[in-house]
Chains A and B, each alone.
Chain A
């Protein structure tokens, strides 16, 4: 019998279908759920209305239910310590430092494709499979593992997967990468998976209702970290003071809502400066930039290029990748782009192929 495949099961539709699909192909499947964060931990964030959470007991029950339906071995893994160190703490400190971090990428890099992969190998699995919408293929000519966007572009998750190494890719399966989400839901119903109609998860899993500021305040309080300085000034690019705000960590580049400044035209956050607690705001066109530096670039489908290369570069998950020239760490767009946000990822594409990516400085 072939070596078992460890499936990361969140209790949602996608990973449930992955388990069902591999099982129906006759693979030996082990279901594993990562317990990442205790949702009852921060008393300030408890409410009946909280949505978009991961790792709730219901999710574990759902995942276990699917495993029981399939008749596969199933275990819950406690990764809370590691998740807090590698994802939650950096998330909070990045926000307080005036950047807009992407915890999902950190989670992929340090938890799902690191600790989870190790655990899977430790218990005797040679490969892992997840419900990500992305594709992996081996290029015999270059000898490299390549990553391609998910066929369902509306669900494509490659923006969050740019940190995967060749070794990680070689041991990972994304069985849904070639499928449309609607087909996944149909398959879930066919396989009799009880979570077939469960809504997609949204937001950042450990932050209830997308309230970052509330999470940061509650976590800082628990950790005995002084709460972020509560006030600062809104200024124009010319330095004119327009009003007061309650801390730079509440604002992100490009944000329009919640500024509370009356003006004749829409105003946006142009930049934030934690040291002085200044938030610079201005017109939409003042957000446009042509160039940026990208740190810690990981090359996936191609080896690190020695010459400038052309690529389409995505600077937010919902951004339409824009043509640019990449020279070392420097990225220069053909056309100015709106809101280049420090802390977000820049991911490089060539058509469907994911070339690599890094962090916007």
Chain B
């Protein structure tokens, strides 16, 4: 069966360029970047170059980049290391890597988000307390694709951490222009492998280490450096994938061909690869499986530990009913997608939705 991948917000294939760039770091330049000898120095050189490239791509300087194992670790480090002892303000549509970590801080407030899927900076302001040490707001939401008003939130005068995992590679990211204190990125969302990410930490930002051992990463993150991963991340960040035309083609065709379909948070600024569509009367789990059996990979919210899908906390947070949340599907496009694939997807969607609605007591 021909299979098509429309779940790039979950993960992406490693790009050819990133793979080729990283291969020497496995077998030739394999030294420990902290070693004194030639082997170590060669690895250190690769790592330093990668750090510089990542910094350049983000508009930062090299010493402001802390390599981590990925987005979750970056978020954990930013919150636990950057808001320790103080109060955190965050939003209801954050990734679990932020929300679950926030619950382990001394105090935190969660700002609600309306149907637009975009947090109101004024609501963030109202949630601030005298001891608020950090605001954490994602740059782009992983499920809706909505872009959050970071520039305005930064003006509130409290250090801001942004989870930029879904923004990177899809919209321009310049941390200096954004004015954030910390910014999380993840390699595997942009064509680098799983297991590499980074946290931008603006010079002067207080950050306590959260894992301990050797004095790696300027004593901010202990552990032997993942040189190959860093090289791949740096290389992958050179590439920008533009899928806006394909995403729009998908949305227009779905809205044209399938009745009672609605784009969630349609009117808001969104990253150009993501659309989240609600099909009235459909159980999104059934639709996801039906599409997968026809060769199309999409997403219906986060999976719990057993792998059973749960209604998306993001869709519930923006005011969708449980039923509406459970009838929504996320499509996220990427490099390998073509117009033909999009057209085939729309055809399969139309058939599956029609079939499922025939069986649905909720849809008449």
Contact = CB atoms under 8 A, between A and B. Distances in A.
A78 B359 contact: no
Nearest to A119: B286
Contacts of B285: 75, 77-78, 119
A73 B292 contact: yes
Interface majority SS (helix, strand, loop, mixed), chain B: helix
Contacts of A33: 306, 308
Nearest to A35: B308
Contacts of B283: 119, 122
Nearest to A81: B322
A121 B352 CA distance: 11
B54 to A, nearest CB: 37
Contact of B306 (A60, A81, A119, A124): A60
Contact of A77 (B305, B308, B355, B356): B308
A294 B359 CA distance: 32
Contacts of B287: 122
B350 interface: no
Nearest to A64: B307
A303 B304 CA distance: 45
B62 interface: no
Given A77-B285, A78-B285, A123 B306 contact: no
The size class of the interface chain B forms with chain A is 20 to 34
A76 B308 contact: yes
Contact of B307 (A60, A119, A122): A60
Interface string A70-84: 000101111011000
A344 B287 CA distance: 37
B305 A122 contact: no
Interface string B201-228: 0000000000000000000000000000
A123 B359 contact: no
A292 B253 CA distance: 62
A27 to B, nearest CB: 15
Given A77-B285, A78-B285, A122 B290 contact: yes
B152 interface: no
Contacts of A119: 283, 285-286, 289
A118 interface: yes
Given A60-B306, A77-B308, A123-B286, A118 B292 contact: no
B179 interface: no
Interface in A89-141: 118-119, 121-124
Interface of A: 4, 30, 33, 35, 55, 57, 60, 64, 73, 75-78, 80-81, 118-119, 121-124
14 contacts: A33-B306, A57-B305, A64-B307, A73-B292, A75-B292, A76-B306, A76-B307, A78-B308, A119-B286, A122-B283, A122-B355, A122-B359, A123-B293, A124-B290
